[in-house]
Amino acid sequence: MNNDRDDRQHILGDLLAWVRQNESAGMEWFLDEGSAPVAETSTESVVEPSPKPSPEPDDPFLEICTQFIAQTLPLIESQPSPRPTGPASADKASLLAALKDEVLPCTACSLHETRNSTVFGAGNPDADVVFVGEAPGRDEDIQGEPFVGRSGKLLTKIMSAIGYGRDDVFICNILKCRPPNNRDPQADEVAACEPHLKRQLAILNPRVICCLGRVAAQTLLGTNVSLKRLRETVHFYEGIPVMATYHPAALLRNPNWKRETWNDVRKMRALVDALKSGES
| Nearer to ligand URA (CB atom), residue 242 or residue 249 | 249
Give 3-state DSSP helix, strand, coil % of the chain, rounded to 5.
50, 10, 40
Neighbours of 195 (CB within 10 A): 12
Using the minimum distance from each CB to ligand URA, give the nearer residue, 206 or 248. 248
In what order do the strands lie in the sheet containing 129-133?
122-123, 170-173, 129-133, 208-212, 240-245, 235-237
Q: How far is the CB of 99 from ligand URA (least distance, A)?
A: 18
Residue 241 three-state SS = strand
Q: Rounded to an integer, what distance in angstroms lies between the CA atom of residue 173 and that of residue 133?
A: 4
- Minimum distance from CB of 38 to ligand URA (Å)? 20
Q: Which is nearer to ligand URA, 37 or 133 (CB)?
A: 133
Beta carbon nearer to ligand URA, 26 or 137: 137
Q: Which residue is nearest to ligand URA (CB)?
A: 133
DSSP code per residue over 74-121: HHHHT-SSPPP--S-HHHHHHHHHHHHHHHTT--SSGGGGT-S-----
Q: Let me know if 278 is exposed, middle or buried by CB neighbors in 10 A (0-12, 13-18, 19+).
A: middle
State the nearest-atom distance from the C-beta of 213 to ligand URA, in Å. Answer: 7
C-beta of 153: minimal distance to ligand URA in Å? 11
Distance, CA of 216 to CA of 60 (rounded, Å): 30
In the bound state with ligand URA, the residue whose beta carbon lies nearer, of 126 and 134, is: 134
Which of 28, 139 has the CB closer to ligand URA? Answer: 139
DSSP 168: T
Q: Which residues bind ligand URA (CB under 6 A)?
A: 133-137, 140, 146-147, 149, 151-152, 173, 249
The two counts, helices (H) then strands (E), for the chain are 11, 6
CA distance 38 to 74: 37
- Minimum Å gap between C-beta 226 and ligand URA is 18
Q: Minimum distance between the CB of residue 23 and ligand URA, rounded to whole angstroms? A: 29
Tell the smallest beta-carbon distance from residue 180 to ligand URA (Å). Answer: 15
Nearer to ligand URA, 206 or 213 (CB): 213
Distance of CA 145 to the CA centre of its chain: 16
